[in-house]
Amino acid sequence: MRADPHEARGVEETLIVAGQKRAFLLDVPAAALRGTPVPLLLDFHGFQHSAAGVWRVSEFKELGPARGFITVYPQGLPVRLRGREGVGWDLAPPEHNRDVQFTIALIEYVAGRYCIDLDRVFATGFSNGAFLSHLLACALAGRIAGIAPVGGGTLEVPCAPAQPIPVIIHHGIRDDRVPVARARALRDQWRALNGCEAREVPLQDGCVAYRKCKPGGAVVYCESDLEHHWPPGAGKRIWEFFESAAGPVPTFQEPPGGSAASTND
């Protein structure tokens, strides 16, 4: 039962999941309150970053009102990564992964309050958050309708999604934190999982697509001349991909101007 759904621009809320208090920012533009089911996007921050920081710089903050979707920015918990400790995401196998359970709880919570199209729940993330989005696709292909890892790569955990899932990957060729070889391995893994041809179909702005994928399993891979950054225009490209993933291979248009946003792991 939805109780008085209302606009909520970057409002912090909390849930108790497996006995732990978990925080997130909820971004509900007025355009998502028109009574028809709307998409839900989960945007996972990088290592040592935060939900609030991502919300402040996110392209999705502007795209949500324009395209009529709700965005949730989850907040991670302390993890140890590359010899450092900080806030981030658990990348352990899904069956014992606290953040997989957090994601399930978030989807159920938001769907209980707002009119969500549960066939259009998507996940994106940068760096450590990108790795988590990949893990979610492996574990929750029936709940997650598409992923967009940015600055991430493969994981040494089994990946056997219950069904094909659309994937768009972005990576910088000069990334010295997550080498581009790991992103290419991620591309090849999803191309194989989704049954796509190896032949690349050039798109715009350094992106390529793969044809003859299994139904619902489109794969697009984008490289740019960047270090460990979120590429300019990636948010718009990601959302266009999610909107058209079930249709023909998209042709992306880079918005004029803009520069790469600096961010943490």
- Per-position DSSP letters for 30-83, written without gaps between them: GGG-SSS-EEEEEEEPPTT--HHHHHHH-THHHHHHHHT-EEEEE--EEEEETT
Give the strands of the sheet with 200-202, arranged side by side.
Answer: 8-17, 20-28, 70-74, 38-44, 116-126, 146-150, 167-172, 219-224, 207-210, 200-202
Q: Check if the beta carbon of residue 223 is closer than 8 Å to that of residue 180.
A: yes
Domain ranges of the chain: 8-244
- Answering whether pTM is above 0.85, one says yes
Answer yes or no: is pLDDT of 256 > 70: no
DSSP class of residue 260? P
Q: Helix or strand or coil: residue 237?
A: helix
Decide if pLDDT at 249 tops 50.
no
* Inter-residue contact 32 to 40 (CB < 8 Å): no
User: pLDDT tens for residues 108-136?
Assistant: 999 999 999 999 999 999 999 999 999 99
Supply the CATH classification number for the domain 8-244: 3.40.50.1820
Place of tokens 């101007």: 257
Distance CA 62, CA 60 (A): 5
pLDDT value at residue 251 = 46
